[in-house]
């Protein structure tokens, strides 16, 4: 009985979620195409930063990693775009001017997708740091420099103290590098996502939401009446 109740409640939640998505009247063609475009563009930025500051063992087969990583990011970008459009609908739902509502939606989509990309860069950097910290410990212990303030060449390492040896200092510098990479990657993805989103929305004619069928029929009927009333005047 408990299993049946749980399955029934899960089915009801799924149905409510699907009906909620339908009520948003999103243009899913625009959402999916934009998600794929941004996932591959931001995936390239993530790959470039990982190659610059990441661990050595993750440097092999960059093209394959870019394709697979970008494909895995597509569902997350779809979710980020949907969240941005939901926020735009809530904050600008009563705005009558279409270009204002579309502009707010574009800005929110760019913000949510860039935030997602920066978050992925942070997670990737954290994994890289876990690998790099092991390398630092191995390198320092191999050269018998543990708990000393000397570099690999026997010279004093700047910034080392009695409580922070060479390994500690190198780990600190590595963390700072990864933090800077998150902000810098987020900055680049913000600019790239803005350009690509504006470009795709312009190609789609600003079609972010689907016009209800009844409203389209009313608009078509209004245009037909106006054309029909204009013909006698021209005659």
DSSP 154: S
Backbone torsions φ then ψ of 104, nearest 5 degrees: -65, -40
* pLDDT tens digits, one per residue of 93-121: 666 677 788 888 999 999 999 999 999 99
Both tokens of 135, joined, read 């390398």
Place of tokens 């760019």: 110
Both tokens of 17, joined, read 């979620």
Angle at 110 (CA atoms; ends 106, 47), nearest 5 degrees = 150
Q: Is pTM, for the whole model, over 0.85?
A: no
Place of tokens 């190609």: 203
Q: What are the structural domain ranges in the chain?
A: 14-211
Provide the pLDDT confidence category of residue 79 given band limits of 50, 70 and 90: very high
Instruction: Tell which residue, 179, 66, 168, 183, has the closest CA to residue 118.
Output: 183
* pLDDT tens digits, one per residue of 162-219: 556 777 888 888 999 999 999 999 999 999 999 999 999 999 887 787 765 544 444 4
Both tokens of 66, joined, read 């870019």
């Amino acid at each position: 009985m408990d299993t049946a109740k749980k399955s029934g409640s899960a089915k009801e939640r799924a149905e409510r979620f699907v009906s909620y998505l339908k009520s948003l009247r999103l243009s899913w063609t625009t959402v999916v195409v934009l998600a794929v475009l941004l996932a591959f563009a931001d995936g390239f930025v993530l790959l470039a930063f990982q190659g610059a500051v990441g661990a050595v063992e993750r440097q092999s087969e960059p093209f394959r990693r870019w394709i697979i990583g970008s494909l895995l990011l597509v569902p997350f970008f779809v979710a980020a775009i949907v969240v941005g459009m939901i926020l735009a609908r809530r904050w600008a739902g009563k705005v009558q001017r279409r270009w204002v509502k579309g502009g707010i939606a574009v800005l929110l989509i760019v913000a949510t997708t860039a935030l997602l990309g920066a978050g992925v860069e942070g997670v990737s950097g954290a994994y890289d740091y876990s690998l790099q910290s092991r390398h630092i410990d191995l390198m320092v212990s191999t050269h018998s420099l543990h708990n000393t303030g000397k570099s690999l060449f026997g010279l004093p390492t700047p910034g080392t103290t009695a409580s922070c040896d060479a390994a500690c200092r190198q780990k600190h510098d590595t963390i700072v590098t990864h933090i800077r990479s998150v902000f810098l990657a987020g900055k680049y993805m913000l600019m790239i996502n803005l350009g690509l989103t504006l470009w795709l929305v312009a190609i789609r004619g600003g079609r972010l939401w689907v016009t209800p069928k009844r409203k389209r029929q009313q608009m078509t009927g209004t245009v037909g009446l106006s054309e029909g009333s204009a013909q006698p005047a021209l005659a």
